Amino acid sequence: MKYEKLRIEVLKANLELPKLGLVDFTFGNVSARDPESGLIAIKASGVPYKSMRPEDIVVVDLGGKTVAGKLRPSSDLPTHLELYNRWPGLGGIVHTHSAWATSWAQACMAIPALGTTHADYFEGPIPCTRLLSEAETSGEYEKETGIVIIECFEKLGLDPLRMPAVLVANHGPFTWGKDAEEAVHKAAVTELVARMALQSLTLAPGLGPMPAHLLAKHFNRKHGPGAYYGQK
């Protein structure tokens, strides 16, 4: 099968979503970009996870033209393409409607950084985009979703490699990483910290963000120039 390695990578990543409790029904998708060819593989639209096969993974170029696969790619493909084209450091992207993170997105609220679990992965609050306008929604909706994510990061001065997640207002989370596997891991962590934040605020409604020095310490010991967490 053409592009078999890329398709299998994306298939495996997609199948992790229901195992991790991050998707229901056919909600959500994973894509990956091949670092050599620049081609992108993404699940086909509306295919059930329990019956998904390598041939259900569609391969496209950066313009969205299908180069392998007979099915229509995920309807969220234009969002993925916007992010890949703007941020070349991304090798994998995940979109889910996972319950806890989506609850924050539906409330149009950023997920606050309240503790070190959050700080180990995200350099501050996980941002939430602005609402899309009626004109944006009525036009190229999925493309506009990608544009509003990029706009959010540029407005806040965020580096997508140091903030690998975003909430789209009224919609749900997108996460990314160096490959599909890492992007799925970030999706799982986003769901975890979303749940922990909501539970923490239920216990302490007036709780403020964690101290900036503690956040910086935990983030940089994993991701800073002098990172020392884990093995070399």
- Residue pLDDT, tens place only, 134-153: 999 999 999 999 999 999 99
As to burial, measured by CB atoms within 10 angstroms (0-12 exposed, 13-18 middle, 19+ buried), residue 228 is: exposed
In angstroms, what is the C-alpha Rg of the chain?
17
Confidence at residue 9, expressed as pLDDT on a 0 to 100 scale: 97
Q: Report the pLDDT value the prediction gives residue 48, as an integer from 0 to 100.
A: 93
Give the span between the Cα atoms of 103 and 80, in whole angstroms: 22
- Give the pair of three-digit tokens for residue 127: 């941002």
Spans of all domains in the chain: 4-223
Q: What average pLDDT does range 157-185 have in this prediction? A: 98
Half-sphere exposure of 22 (CA within 13 A, CB side): 29
- Going across the sheet that includes 172-177, the strands are 66-68, 57-60, 40-43, 29-33, 92-95, 172-177, 165-168
**pLDDT of 179 above 70:** yes
Q: Return the CATH fold of 4-223.
A: L-fuculose-1-phosphate Aldolase (3.40.225)
Of the candidate ranges 56-65, 112-121, 184-193, 219-228, the one whose mean pLDDT is the lowest? 219-228
pLDDT band, very low/low/confident/very high, at 225 (cuts 50, 70, 90): confident
Given pLDDT bands bounded at 50, 70 and 90, which one contains residue 224? confident
Confidence of residue 60 (pLDDT cuts 50, 70, 90): very high
pLDDT at 34 > cutoff 80? yes
pLDDT band at 1 (very low <50, low <70, confident <90, very high): low
Neighbours of 217 (CB within 10 A): 13
168-185 burial: b if 16+ Cβ within 10 Å, else e = bbebbbbbbbebbbbbbb
Give the residue with greater pLDDT, 150 vs 225: 150
Would you state the pLDDT for residue 209? 96
Euclidean distance between CA atoms 228 and 216, whole angstroms: 14
**Measured between alpha carbons, how far is 166 from 127 in angstroms, rounded to an integer?**
5
Place of tokens 């998904």: 52
* Percentage of residues in the chain having pLDDT higher than 90: 93
- Of the candidates 182, 168, 185, the one whose C-alpha atom is nearest the C-alpha of residue 101 is 168
| Active-site amino acid positions | 120, 229
pLDDT in tens, 79-128: 999 999 999 999 999 999 999 999 999 999 999 999 999 999 999 999 99
CA–CA dist 232, 225 (Å, integer): 13
- Provide the percentage of residues in the chain whose pLDDT is more than 70: 99
Map tokens 């620049």 to a residue.
Answer: 38
The SS3 call for residue 168 is strand
Average pLDDT, the chain: 96
